[in-house]
Structure 1
Amino acid sequence: MITIKGKGVVEGVAFGKLSFFQKMQQQVERHKVQDTSAELKRFEEAKKQAMEQLQILYQKALSEVGEENAMIFEIHQMMLEDLDYCESITNIVCSQQVNAEYAVAKTADNFSAMFSSMDDPYLQARAADVKDISEKLIHILMGNTEQSYSFTEPCIIAADDLAPSETVQLDKTKVLAFVTRKGSSNSHTAILARTMNIPAIIGVGDQLKPDFEGKDIIVDGETGNVYINPDTATFDTMRLKKMELDRENSLLAELKGQPSITLDGQTIHLYANIGSVTDTVAALNYDAEGIGLFRSEFLYLENQDYPTEEEQFQAYRTVAENMAGKKVIIRTLDIGADKNIDYFQLPKEDNPAMGYRAIRICLTRPELFHTQLRALYRASAFGKIAIMFPMITSVEEVKQIKEIAAQVRNELKEAGVPFDPSVELGIMIETPAAAVISDQLAKEVDFFSVGTNDLTQYTLAIDRQNPKLDRFYQPHHPAILRLIRMAADNAHKNGIWIGICGELGADLDMTETFLAMGIDELSVSPSSVLKLRQKIRQTDVSKVIPKG
């Protein structure tokens, strides 16, 4: 038996034969052309065909993994239309009088190298996206037949890496798991794998050898271990682990419809985080009691221009109606930092995480904020909507927000447009400043929601997207827990409720501590809801000694 180790990005255990995914080799040659106009026409036609193929992929991903995860194929379409990308190809064809295939390949190399050299892990991951769309263009230009994504029997897929377009096209009835030499946990492929719930391990490097083709293997997505030709003892151990995981999932399903209440009678609201309208399906399927965080910025990220009031209204209304009277907390636009949009024309910043982002953009672009608030209030007539504001650092910001919200309500009232005048207004506690002055902020709003990802980043002065700092990123740090407890105490002293919507909310090691703090609501990814409900129902808060 041989054991190799990588990084697990999707939990689960899979047994099967290893099959290497062979990408179609495309040897691009450089040759002179006499008619550059004809060559550019070939490029434009190939680009049009690629756009059509990407739209088909988008629709397939939309139905299988939801709008948020399908968005990568819209991003790929945008990249195909990117002016710099297209101009580079055009310039190489015309200035060097070369074939379009070579110009695309050369541009792909240049852009990929540029992204790979950047410090931001998210931008580094975009290097693979440039390669993906460029290979598609070259594939079309060379007139190659379509890549096969089917397999004759169920197997575990091995590859150097898998592009998002390849992952979504795999016949999932035949894919038991996948193992890649490269890849990052920030890549779209990893995100898609999680949503598709296929056990996955990345970053095994050169340990994954070609002569493992056809071997019997076991993948443990929890530990990141891959067992080649497992011995009897390992096989039996992993078989029992898989049986236990299957049993746990069956038991979790029995918790649907059960209250989220502790052994000593403490009730907590258990909500879901979503990024798109279609994600409400997963929230309902996992029996979330409401939506604790609807990331409205995805309405902006998936558009080529600012979404109109009507477009936003329809999205918010649909979510409210789908949740059928359950609370839906919608966070206002949180653009900036790692989420940038070209048409916003945001200035380049040395430290964007601490720069022009979120509520700072809304308060300095009041027409943008005004439009979103009108859409939100209009949608409140169709369900139980609450509005939450991110990146708050002062009481003055909250007072300014409330004034704008009051103006919107007055406008709608005068125009005879129906809305719910009792919509709750809350803020995110995601900066140390907000936690420290939470006694003052609590007098201005109806609720708090703690964004633990940014609160950890700002409290520990750590860029949470920098993999080199993983060992220093400690979300259980006593300072963070003290800030959360301070905010919880101040919320309750002032008669408002407090929730947690960051990743820490799904950390089962912290559930007892949050219950002991008196946290009223936890909002997590839909797939974490039932696991968290189970933990809550097994806890006696009176016997808990809080951390921190």
Structure 2
Amino acid sequence: MLTLSPDDILLDCHADDWRAALDSAAETLQRSGLVTAGYRDGLHAREAQSSTYLGNAIAIPHGTPESREHVRATGVRVLQFPRGIDWHDGHRVHALVTIAAQSDEHLDILRQLTHVLDDDSVAGRLAQATSAGVIASLLSKAVVEARLDADTLCLGFPARDVRELALAGAARLRQLDCVAGGFVAAVAEGAPLRLGQGLWLATSDRGVETPALSLATSDRALAENDEPVTGVFCLAARGDAHRGLLERILALLESGQAGELKGADAATVLGRLSGESASAHTRLARVLNAHGLHARPAKQLVQVARAQGIAIRVRLAEGGGEAVPATSLTKVIGLGARRGQQLAFSAEGEGAEAALEALDRAVAEGLGEQVLPFDESRERLAPREAAAPLTPLPADLPHPGVAASPGLAIAPAFVLRTPRFDYPDRAADPAAERRRLEQAIHEGTAQLEALVQQARGGEVAQILSMHEEMLNDPELLEAAGEGIRDGRSAEAAWWDAIETAAHAQEMLADRLLAERAADLRDVGRRVLGVLCRVELPAPPDHPYILVTDDIGPSDVARLDTTRVRGLLTARGGATAHSAILARALGIPAVVGAGERVLTLENGSELILDGERGRVVPAPSAERRAAAEQRLVERERRAAEAWEARFGEARTRCGHRVEVAANLGNTAHAADAVARGAEGIGLLRTEFLFMAHAHEPDLDTQVGEYREALDALDGRPLVARTLDVGGDKPLPYWPMPKEDNPFLGLRGIRLALTRPEVLETQLRALLMAAAPADESGKAPAAGVTEKARPLRIMLPMVKDIGEFRAARAIVDRLLAEIPEAERATDLQLGVMVEVPSSALLAASLADEVDFFSVGTNDLTQYTLAIDRDHPELSAQADGLHPAVLRLIEMTVAAAHARGKWVGVCGELASDATAVPVLVGLGVDELSVSARQVPLVKARLREFDLAEARDQAALALAQATSEAVRDALEVR
């Protein structure tokens, strides 16, 4: 859980506007070593999706899930703005609680802050505070609530009188470690207090570890002094934590409904104590949101509740918390509901059932977020079935994985199999098992601290420090403690807690967060190793490639980089911490290659290619020699490529192929030119829209596009029109929920549903590309104009109809805008991402000016493989012959009508694919800016005849594996 200290607070900050305030917050996190510079964009992107204003002059900026790769360590910084900032949603802000979180820790901050949002004086106190300690105290005050849930209840106990019921309740709290023996003794010494309506109360503050409430009822009819007994409350009191429970008992008595607790089940008891009446209609709804009921879905829930026009209350069904108004944002956030938990809604009177149905439907649809169904059998720990024997990998054949860290390695394999931990499932002494576990956690923490010292800062130290926080996570310890209390051994209880948490992490829709399950298991194995006294085998004293199931970050940190030549794992992804650390340490890595890699023999030779994402076991002499040559030439080629980066991109025989850069930010255009880019082959304009809380107006867009055109200094700009939908929603452009958004409203088909938005963007592009004089300004009379070549590209076009609809808007704008105020060197083309556009390229080529092939989407749509799929992503290879044939068809149709074709997907920078694409006739390759020098260098290594031979060879193969194999041995 994130906490605040005075050191985390900056007083007396100033900013001209909310954007500058966000920039200051990002700089503060960066100076503290919590994030890298890229996290700033994540803060702005989150604000564009939805305001992070929470209430009472407090905003809680935090990055998007995509920006969490820039988080080095979890932390929080508070910036106080005494004079206040006008936030973009119209509120006044005095405090930014800025969060750098690697999962959903910001939910804890939300829950901690909800208690101050009901205090109207908070805004003024935040503005006037002159001490960091005052602000920390104000924001960090945690509300301690007494425990009440199904486990604390003791229903249907075989008791003979109210004293035995009181002792039964006390014993239940003792079993849950809420109280010590002194509490039970105190209850035994006193007599329960009669409350009326058949209820009694036994209470004490002696020996209370956790304040809690139990209700004990009898399995038979009882009477005390001729009064029927409904039940006895047993209250473990401490401070003010129990006051709310006493007030709810009093409210139950005042309502006259206490008698309904007699013979009731746990759900009824919890409902009545939460404030639900017997006449209320109720409905359970399970939270499906990956990150729980955080601010955005909570806001949607509140809006739906308010629209019903009747009073609706909501609580967590699993606990005994008080039902709160579903129309209060702070109260709903305060529930802290996580994915999988159930919300219990209640309402009374006319329209209650319809209102609850509307809320149930809204929760099921995700409250404005894309959600996955909750499968309890999958999202809880389930025993694995016995696996079939694995087939060993064949010799001298490439085996695919996921490229995680670039580089090439040739070395013998050292297979580090997950150690076998043998331990009993049950244990007789829970107290002794708890002590063993706590000691093992202490030893594990000491080990991590030693590794942090060895790491001496950087990403390695930051991630290992995060592991220390994991080991001290009270929820993990509590989960293990529950298992121990149920009679499990320390080892069994601990690993169950780890696996349950890891499985829940893996089920998250956010791929980055799902891959963090490896961190949990890494921490878990460390403690398990201490408990079982199991040590990992020592690696060899010669260079090797480490092969393992799913290496943890601390294992990567221990690697001797003088001997480890590469890393190969059966599981994991390119954004897992182990992959991040491998890149930071400069170790080539291929991950997610499947369990068959574990069949490799120790000492067997491997070629590991971290750029192509594959390994070759027991390579032939010819393949090994070729790999060695590549290894020797890599460094030389990189240096030579940089020196020659400004030369025209041509093949060895002089055939011209333009090399441009892909950009997501117009501010990076100058850097692309400095790296030798001959233009921008793909400007992803959607990032401009995603960086604003509202749709950017004409002037804003003109300014952004002109910045790129100025930097290009006469080089062409290919700007893709707004491409949102699917995985890129806009908060100010509501879209209906779709079962499969990647096959729904996205790209040009979505833009055409809002033609006014598309028209504004097209107008801005045309105006930004108006001719300029040598200073970059609009030319004065008699001054020579300098053209700004503009290529507008439409995304996700499936046929000529969509192109014509957009073309009509462009033609009208060209007629409306004076020629001196708009682009004069203009082309309008389409992005070939949908197979139908390639198949219909001949009809499209009659009217479009150019094609640009987006191989990422074209590959996944052609092969029906999500390129981010954890198991299939390695098979989503753009060198598949089916994809190549679609590119060939596109080029043939374009060239027959004198049009040009570019490729702007990842395939354009694949060293193996470059000659194939040139051989297919591609005229332009657009790659990431850092790849520009290397792609230019690759072009100089072959001539056009050779490229055509390689293209023919690739098209003759049956699979992408066969293509790569044939091209490599050529």
Q: Could you list the per-position Cα deviations for residues 271-301 of structure 1 after superposition, in whole angstroms to 9, with x for gaps in the alignment?
A: 0000011211321121000000000001101
Q: Could you list the per-position Cα deviations for residues 300-319 of structure 1 after superposition, in whole angstroms to 9, with x for gaps in the alignment?
A: 01000000011000111111
Give the deviation of 1:394 after TM superposition. 1.2
Alignment of 1:415-494 (within 5 A): 418-494=821-897
TM-score of the superposed pair, with normalisation by structure 2: 0.39
For residue 93 of structure 1, what is the aligned residue in structure 2? Answer: 115
Opposite residue 931 of structure 2, the aligned amino acid is S
Alignment of 1:303-382 (within 5 A): 303-381=692-770, 382=772
Opposite residue 394 of structure 1, the aligned amino acid is D
Task: Return the match for 1:290 from 651, 675, 679.
Answer: 679
Alignment of 1:392-403 (within 5 A): 392-403=797-808
Give the deviation of 1:100 after TM superposition. 5.2
SS in 1 for 2:588: coil
Opposite residue 222 of structure 1, the aligned amino acid is P
SS in 2 for 1:467: coil
For residues 291 and 269 of structure 1, the distance between their equivalents in structure 2, rounded to whole angstroms, comes to 10
Give the deviation of 1:536 after TM superposition. 0.4
For residue 208 of structure 1, what is the aligned residue in structure 2? Answer: 554
SS in 2 for 1:330: strand
For residues 347 and 150 of structure 1, the distance between their equivalents in structure 2, rounded to whole angstroms, comes to 51
For residue 157 of structure 1, what is the aligned residue in structure 2? Answer: 460
Give the deviation of 1:250 after TM superposition. 2.0
Are 1:266 and 2:633 matched, yes or no?
no
For residues 59 and 210 of structure 1, the distance between their equivalents in structure 2, rounded to whole angstroms, comes to 24
Give the deviation of 1:475 after TM superposition. 1.9
Give the deviation of 1:211 after TM superposition. 9.8
For residue 237 of structure 1, what is the aligned residue in structure 2? Answer: none
For residues 224 and 445 of structure 1, the distance between their equivalents in structure 2, rounded to whole angstroms, comes to 41
For residue 587 of structure 2, what is the aligned residue in structure 1? Answer: 221
SS in 1 for 2:950: coil
For residue 945 of structure 2, what is the aligned residue in structure 1? Answer: 542
For residue 520 of structure 1, what is the aligned residue in structure 2? Answer: 923
Matched pairs, number: 433
For residue 72 of structure 1, what is the aligned residue in structure 2? Answer: 42
Q: Could you list the per-position Cα deviations for residues 449-470 of structure 1 after superposition, in whole angstroms to 9, with x for gaps in the alignment?
A: 0011111111111222222322
Contact 1:286/1:526 (<8 A) preserved: yes
Stretches of structure 2 that go unaligned for 5 or more consecutive residues are 5-12, 55-105, 120-138, 145-290, 295-335, 342-365, 374-451, 467-501, 516-547, 565-584, 592-628, 773-787, 956-970
Contact 1:93/1:99 (<8 A) preserved: no
Contact 1:272/1:290 (<8 A) preserved: yes
SS in 1 for 2:769: helix
C-alpha spacing 1:220/1:317, structure 2 compared with 1 (3 Å)? closer
C-alpha spacing 1:255/1:112, structure 2 compared with 1 (3 Å)? farther
SS in 2 for 1:387: strand
Opposite residue 276 of structure 1, the aligned amino acid is N
SS in 1 for 2:717: strand
C-alpha spacing 1:471/1:243, structure 2 compared with 1 (3 Å)? closer
Give the deviation of 1:526 after TM superposition. 0.5
TM-score of the superposed pair, with normalisation by structure 1: 0.67
SS in 2 for 1:463: coil
Alignment of 1:489-504 (within 5 A): 489-504=892-907
Bigger relative contact order (CA 8 A; separation at least 6)? 1
Alignment of 1:105-120 (within 5 A): 110=337
Task: Return the match for 2:796 from 388, 391, 406.
Answer: 391
C-alpha spacing 1:159/1:65, structure 2 compared with 1 (3 Å)? closer
For residue 66 of structure 2, what is the aligned residue in structure 1? Answer: none
The structure number with the bigger radius of gyration is 2
For residues 556 and 766 of structure 2, the distance between their equivalents in structure 1, rounded to whole angstroms, comes to 58
Aligned residues with identical type, % of pairs: 29
For residue 16 of structure 1, what is the aligned residue in structure 2? Answer: none
For residue 568 of structure 2, what is the aligned residue in structure 1? Answer: none
Give the deviation of 1:495 after TM superposition. 0.9
Contact 2:30/2:36 (<8 A) preserved: no
SS in 2 for 1:425: strand
For residues 635 and 36 of structure 2, the distance between their equivalents in structure 1, rounded to whole angstroms, comes to 22
For residue 52 of structure 2, what is the aligned residue in structure 1? Answer: 81
Give the deviation of 1:208 after TM superposition. 2.3
Contact 2:22/2:44 (<8 A) preserved: no
Task: Return the match for 1:409 from 805, 814, 819.
Answer: 814
Opposite residue 541 of structure 1, the aligned amino acid is L
Contact 1:89/1:100 (<8 A) preserved: no
Give the deviation of 1:530 after TM superposition. 1.0
Contact 1:291/1:523 (<8 A) preserved: yes
Q: Which moved more, 1:507-516 or 1:464-473?
A: 464-473
For residues 80 and 409 of structure 1, the distance between their equivalents in structure 2, rounded to whole angstroms, comes to 37
C-alpha spacing 1:325/1:207, structure 2 compared with 1 (3 Å)? closer
For residue 249 of structure 1, what is the aligned residue in structure 2? Answer: 638
For residues 904 and 715 of structure 2, the distance between their equivalents in structure 1, rounded to whole angstroms, comes to 17
For residues 399 and 304 of structure 1, the distance between their equivalents in structure 2, rounded to whole angstroms, comes to 31
Q: Could you list the per-position Cα deviations for residues 352-389 of structure 1 after superposition, in whole angstroms to 9, with x for gaps in the alignment?
A: 11111111122111110110011011011142211111
- Determine which structure has the larger helix proportion and give its number: 1
C-alpha spacing 1:267/1:203, structure 2 compared with 1 (3 Å)? farther
CA-based RMSD: 4.7
Q: Could you list the per-position Cα deviations for residues 461-486 of structure 1 after superposition, in whole angstroms to 9, with x for gaps in the alignment?
A: 12222223224323221111000000
For residues 312 and 444 of structure 1, the distance between their equivalents in structure 2, rounded to whole angstroms, comes to 27
Give the deviation of 1:210 after TM superposition. 11
Opposite residue 478 of structure 1, the aligned amino acid is P
For residue 690 of structure 2, what is the aligned residue in structure 1? Answer: 301
Are 1:54 and 2:64 matched, yes or no?
no
C-alpha spacing 1:66/1:86, structure 2 compared with 1 (3 Å)? closer
